Amino acid sequence: MAIIALEGMHFFAHHGFYEEEQIVGNNFVLDVYMDTETSRAAVADDLYSTINYETVYFICKSEMKKPTKLLETIAQRISNRLNSQFETLSGVKIRVRKLAPPLGGKVDSTYVEVASGTLSSAAGFSRYFKGGEEEGEEDDFNFLDFFK
């Protein structure tokens, strides 16, 4: 199993609850993490046996073009499309950030994150960070910091 990710995809879009946000638009950053089996693709060196980054990007771009009131809706739509497109996925995590949201003060960003399958809980990530430990040995590495 492996996590395949696209981080920092930047889009300008017209999402927001308020009419002004939908008219003026804003900048968004999208991160996508996908838990999938990659051994067959790695052995065969075959793009068609794994997740194609370009396809993931175009799914995200397509969904970001559809004006939406809630970030939750965008994230869930992307998750649904990825799960439909790639049958090898065992988990998906989507983070949608709105940069400089219009809240009446300086705020760098807001974000919504949705996850499904093995990536729906922090415990799902932990297996990727346990490989080098001796049995009973504590590791002070916090795997949640990896995704900040």
The mean predicted confidence, pLDDT, of the chain is: 85
The pLDDT assigned to 58 comes to 97
* Residue 143 and residue 129 in contact, taking contact as beta carbons nearer than 8 Å: yes
What are the two backbone dihedrals, phi and then psi, of residue 34, each rounded to the nearest 5 degrees?
Answer: -130, 125
Q: For the chain, first and last CA: distance in Å?
A: 22
Residue 69: closest CA among 21, 16, 30, 25: 16
Query: Of residues 61, 93, 98, 148, which has the active-site annotation?
Result: 98
Task: Outline where 25-136 has alpha helix (H).
Answer: 39-44, 53-64, 71-85, 122-126
pLDDT band with cut points at 50, 70 and 90 for residue 122: low
Over residues 77-100, the mean pLDDT reads 95
Residue with tokens 């760098």: 108
Instruction: Give the other-Cβ count within 10 Å of 45's Cβ.
Output: 8
pLDDT band with cut points at 50, 70 and 90 for residue 120: confident
* Residue 27 and residue 10 in contact, taking contact as beta carbons nearer than 8 Å: yes
pLDDT band with cut points at 50, 70 and 90 for residue 140: low
Q: Is 18 helix (H, G, I), strand (E, B) or coil?
A: coil
The pLDDT assigned to 75 comes to 97
Max alpha carbon distance in the chain (Å)? 57
pLDDT digit string, tens, across residues 12-27: 999 999 999 999 999 9
98 catalytic per annotation: yes
pLDDT digit string, tens, across residues 32-74: 999 999 988 899 998 888 999 999 999 999 999 999 999 999 9
Strands (E) in the chain, as ranges, are: 2-13, 26-36, 89-99, 109-117
Over residues 85-106, the mean pLDDT reads 94
